[in-house]
Chains A and B, each alone.
Chain A
Amino acid sequence: MSTILQAIDVRKAYAAHTALNGVSLEIPTGSIFGLLGPNGAGKTSLIRIITQITGADSGEIRFRGEKLNPSHIAQIGYLPEERGLYKKMRVGEQLLYLARLKGLSKADATDRIKQWIDRLDLRPWVSKNVEDLSKGMQQKVQFIATVLHEPSLIILDEPFSGFDPINANLIKDEILALRERGTTIIFSTHRMESVEELCDNIALINRSNKVLDGPVRQIRDAFKTNTYEVEGKGRLMVIHPDFEVLEHKERENDHFYDRIRLHNGTTPNDLLRYLIGNVEVQAFRELIPSINEIFIRRVQETMPETLETANALL
């Protein structure tokens, strides 16, 4: 798998604080990449360097193997967290203007605007001023403006904040469709649960440092704790040295809920066999840690002094 974007030891400091402290990343082409971390971790700083709004103090960004330069601007689409449009401009004109600033010719831009307008049902709004649109409509316009020039890399900063659920799903579908066509997408968010099912790869950033990165599946496997959730009927009393009960709850009508961790190479089947002999099993599933939990554990391991703030910000 090729790499569309590579960050090598990127550093950026402002007057009072360090925003990025030697961050390195690799983003595979055609994947959905989650850039995750609490507010103030340095995500937006990194994105602004990638979009060439600011420059890094040191380190390097490579786009398709080339050192990042202004010719790449047209290949990147960016939806910032602080988003807005010219309120007193018509939807159609505004899209045309933004597309042409990305280097599209007037004819090409007009064609594509037509396609997108129809696709997202904005036809009746084209010649309305942006300020006359509902917030949801404005979000659609904003999204079109981000993807209109068919960038090969799309960066969405806090993409679902402010989107209503219907639009959020619409945008999710469009994003997945874009990935099908080979577009690479970067999600940057502090709400990890909102994107974890979408992302192929993630990087976790805390306090200007990357704390973890890799494919989501791999990371989850690595952080699996061999813990299982069991629900059933009967009186469960586990007295087995390899099965550690983390939590036990008695419920009404002789029901129970348990969390059990396996030790010494025992398998879930071993646990099931043991349970079936004692109680009636109604539910049995492996507990896979959420990205959120992984983040907290990782921060705990690597930078315990920042855990409290990280927790508070998540």
Chain B
Amino acid sequence: MEKIWLIIQREYNTRVRKKSFLIVSLLAPLLLAATSLIIAKLNAPGSADEVAVYDESGLGLMARLTSTDDTRFVPATGSSSAAATAAFKKSKPKQAALLVFSKDFSLDTTEGVQLLANGNMSLKRQVNIRKAVNKAVGELKLTRSGLNQTTIDNLKADVNLKAVDLSQQGGRENNAGLTTATAYALSILVYMFIFIYGVQVMRGVAEEKSNRIMEVMVSSVKPFELMMGKILGIGGVVLTQFAIWLTLSYAVTTLVGPLLLKNDKAPVATTATVKTQPAAPASAAAADTAPAAPADQPSTPPSLWGVLEGLPIGSILGGFLFFFLGGYLLYSSLFAAIGAAVDDQTDAQQFMFPVTIPLILSYIASITVVINGDPNGPLAFWLSMIPLTSPIAMVMRLPFGVPLWQLLLSGVFLIGGFILATWIAGRIYRVGILMYGKKVTYGELSRWMFYKG
């Protein structure tokens, strides 16, 4: 046990003392913060699409089209549709689209509307315009059927649907966007960290082998101790890096955030920051103190703060740590076995493939699950039970709330999977580290597992 501790210390110290570690630890959160601020600025509202409308139908549809934050309707210039088209093409500043109601547009068939654009149009724009047109035509139809405008206005229902999560104490207000963003961020983090540091374990083992220090080492310590020492030491490096990132993100968003956000619309910027950083409370707090935050925004910072508090933060952090560490231990022991089995890095590729497949697969599947919005469905459930996929899948589910029994069951499976993986890896490692100049095949590897002593 004492020896393992020595090995852990060495692995940890040599890595943490490297300049590159310091640079990555310090720069990464700054870069993330900078990127998210840029994204926030670019996404800031105020640049509504201008859509020119040319109406030949004589139905007065132009007057009925209501502009929104996203889309602004203006009458097209020109006395014919061709002239309007020409004017649209030369429009400055560029108009997003030209909407043409032709002469034979009829309310019954609703045919004869064209949307012209320079190049392809995003789906979101099309949907926005279609909504506005539908609304205008619908209202016109209602008027024609004898209802007066006041009645129509009274009939309009603009329901503000508030999703409330009952599983939370006191029934917290739910914000699907934030929950989804957190789920994304967490699973990306787990995926990235397992991959990056798993490969580091593999490199470390391969390096010991090619340095020819392996035999000196295993005459002092058991191969299994050597392997676990390396895995745990590098695991410590990951946690250190993680702690630094969290602290720095907090500091950056608290101190620098308000200054940069001063003249922006705070809530949007805040949401963007949350998407890329798990240290969301900090940025929310930062937005809270931003003096220029307009008070009439629909979602004001305090309510965002509330939502974040509404997320199961405790179980997210605890679960994240557990599943990340479990996944790291499982995968890195497999990576260690690969490093031990091959003579040089290029040979490692063929063996890395089957190990990375479940990792990538669970990542993609998790994203699909989030997009489909079914974080408690059968696919999500099974992915979060299988040890190879559960580190990512379960962490993705955490913000949505996972029943305790599932967490426990998956945790037990993960521990079991980890023990099995280290056992297999340990067997391969033990033989592989002293094997030089031999082209290793899968058959060979499976035989190694059953070598005696």
Tell me the A residues contacting B by CB distance below 8 Å: 15, 48, 51-57, 73, 76, 78-80, 82-89, 97-98, 100-102, 142, 145
Question: Do B6 and A101 touch across chains, with their CB atoms under 8 A apart?
Answer: yes
Give chain A nearest CB distance to B306 CB in angstroms.
Answer: 50
- Closest residue of chain A to B229, judged by CB? A101
Give per-residue flags for B396-409: 1 if the beta carbon is below 8 A from chain A beta carbons, else 0: 00000000000000
- Closest residue of chain B to A155, judged by CB? B219
Stretch at the interface among B29-37, B43-51, B207-215, B370-378: B207-215
A101 to B217, CA, bound (A): 8
Contact of B219 among A51, A56, A88 (CB under 8 A): A51
**Lowest 6 CB-CB distances: which A-B pairs, in order?**
A55-B453, A84-B212, A80-B215, A101-B220, A84-B211, A78-B219
Give chain B nearest CB distance to A163 CB in angstroms.
Answer: 15
Contact of B216 among A56, A78, A89 (CB under 8 A): A78
Chain B residues with Cβ below 8 Å from A101 are 3, 6-7, 217, 220-221
Give per-residue flags for B427-442: 1 if the beta carbon is below 8 A from chain A beta carbons, else 0: 0000000101000000
Question: Do B219 and A53 touch across chains, with their CB atoms under 8 A apart?
Answer: yes
Question: Do B436 and A82 touch across chains, with their CB atoms under 8 A apart?
Answer: yes
A82 to B447, CA, bound (A): 24
Question: Do B220 and A98 touch across chains, with their CB atoms under 8 A apart?
Answer: yes
Contact of A102 among B213, B220, B447 (CB under 8 A): B220
Chain A residues with Cβ below 8 Å from B216 are 78-80, 83-85, 98, 142, 145
Question: Do A15 and B6 touch across chains, with their CB atoms under 8 A apart?
Answer: no
A53 to B7, CA, bound (A): 18
A88 to B207, CA, bound (A): 11
A145 to B213, CA, bound (A): 12
A73 to B447, CA, bound (A): 28
Q: Let me know if B452 is at the binding interface, CB within 8 A.
A: yes
Interface of A: prevailing SS? loop
Chain B residues with Cβ below 8 Å from A79 are 216
- Closest residue of chain A to B223, judged by CB? A53
Question: Do B211 and A73 touch across chains, with their CB atoms under 8 A apart?
Answer: no
A79 to B213, CA, bound (A): 10
Chain B residues with Cβ below 8 Å from A52 are 219
Question: Do A76 and B212 touch across chains, with their CB atoms under 8 A apart?
Answer: no
With known contacts A56-B453, A101-B6, A73–B213 Cβ distance under 8 A: no
Give chain B nearest CB distance to A121 CB in angstroms.
Answer: 23
Question: Do A53 and B211 touch across chains, with their CB atoms under 8 A apart?
Answer: no
Give per-residue flags for B4-33: 1 if the beta carbon is below 8 A from chain A beta carbons, else 0: 001100100010000000000000000000
Chain A residues with Cβ below 8 Å from B434 are 48, 53
Question: Do B10 and A97 touch across chains, with their CB atoms under 8 A apart?
Answer: yes
A88 to B10, CA, bound (A): 12
Question: Do B3 and A84 touch across chains, with their CB atoms under 8 A apart?
Answer: no
Give per-residue flags for B83-123: 1 if the beta carbon is below 8 A from chain A beta carbons, else 0: 00000000000000000000000000000000000000000
Within 8 A of A (CB), among B191-224: 208, 211-221
With known contacts A15-B447, A100-B6, A54–B219 Cβ distance under 8 A: no
Chain B residues with Cβ below 8 Å from A86 are 14, 208, 211, 213
Question: Do B215 and A83 touch across chains, with their CB atoms under 8 A apart?
Answer: yes
- Pairs across A and B, CB under 8 Å, 20 listed: A53-B215, A53-B219, A55-B452, A57-B452, A73-B219, A73-B220, A76-B219, A80-B212, A80-B215, A80-B216, A82-B436, A83-B215, A84-B216, A85-B211, A85-B216, A86-B14, A86-B213, A100-B6, A101-B220, A142-B216
Give chain B nearest CB distance to A19 CB in angstroms.
Answer: 13
Question: Do B219 and A80 touch across chains, with their CB atoms under 8 A apart?
Answer: yes
A52 to B219, CA, bound (A): 7
With known contacts A100-B6, A101-B221, A82–B453 Cβ distance under 8 A: no
- Closest residue of chain B to A84, judged by CB? B212
Question: Do A85 and B14 touch across chains, with their CB atoms under 8 A apart?
Answer: no
Within 8 A of A (CB), among B345-363: none
Give chain B nearest CB distance to A96 CB in angstroms.
Answer: 10
Chain B residues with Cβ below 8 Å from A73 are 219-220
- Closest residue of chain B to A102, judged by CB? B220
Interface hub of A52, A73, A76, A101 (most chain B Cβ within 10 A) = A101
Identify 9 new A-B residue pairs, CB closer than 8 A, beyond the known A83-B216, A86-B208, A87-B211. Answer: A73-B220, A80-B212, A80-B215, A82-B212, A82-B215, A83-B215, A84-B216, A102-B220, A142-B216
A78 to B221, CA, bound (A): 13
Question: Do A97 and B6 touch across chains, with their CB atoms under 8 A apart?
Answer: yes
Chain A residues with Cβ below 8 Å from B452 are 55, 57
Give chain B nearest CB distance to A227 CB in angstroms.
Answer: 43
Contact of A83 among B212, B220, B436, B447 (CB under 8 A): B212
A123 to B436, CA, bound (A): 34
A83 to B212, CA, bound (A): 5
A152 to B376, CA, bound (A): 64
Question: Do A84 and B220 touch across chains, with their CB atoms under 8 A apart?
Answer: no
Chain A residues with Cβ below 8 Å from B3 are 101
Give chain A nearest CB distance to B333 CB in angstroms.
Answer: 21
With known contacts A53-B219, A76-B219, A82-B215, A88–B453 Cβ distance under 8 A: no
Give chain A nearest CB distance to B223 CB in angstroms.
Answer: 8
With known contacts A57-B452, A80-B219, A85–B213 Cβ distance under 8 A: yes
- Closest residue of chain B to A80, judged by CB? B215
Interface hub of A54, A57, A88, A142 (most chain B Cβ within 10 A) = A54
- Closest residue of chain A to B210, judged by CB? A84
Give chain A nearest CB distance to B384 CB in angstroms.
Answer: 40
- Closest residue of chain B to A99, judged by CB? B220
Give chain A nearest CB distance to B5 CB in angstroms.
Answer: 10
Interface hub of A73, A80, A102 (most chain B Cβ within 10 A) = A80
A2 to B7, CA, bound (A): 37
A87 to B208, CA, bound (A): 9
- Closest residue of chain A to B434, judged by CB? A53
Chain B residues with Cβ below 8 Å from A83 are 212-213, 215-216
Question: Do A89 and B14 touch across chains, with their CB atoms under 8 A apart?
Answer: yes
Chain A residues with Cβ below 8 Å from B220 are 73, 98, 101-102
Chain B residues with Cβ below 8 Å from A56 are 453
Chain B residues with Cβ below 8 Å from A102 are 220
Give chain B nearest CB distance to A94 CB in angstroms.
Answer: 9
A283 to B302, CA, bound (A): 108
Give chain B nearest CB distance to A27 CB in angstroms.
Answer: 17
Give chain A nearest CB distance to B228 CB in angstroms.
Answer: 14
Give chain B nearest CB distance to A92 CB in angstroms.
Answer: 13
Give chain A nearest CB distance to B243 CB in angstroms.
Answer: 25
A51 to B208, CA, bound (A): 19
A278 to B309, CA, bound (A): 115
Give chain A nearest CB distance to B200 CB in angstroms.
Answer: 14
A87 to B204, CA, bound (A): 12
A83 to B436, CA, bound (A): 13
- Closest residue of chain B to A56, judged by CB? B453
Chain A residues with Cβ below 8 Å from B217 are 101
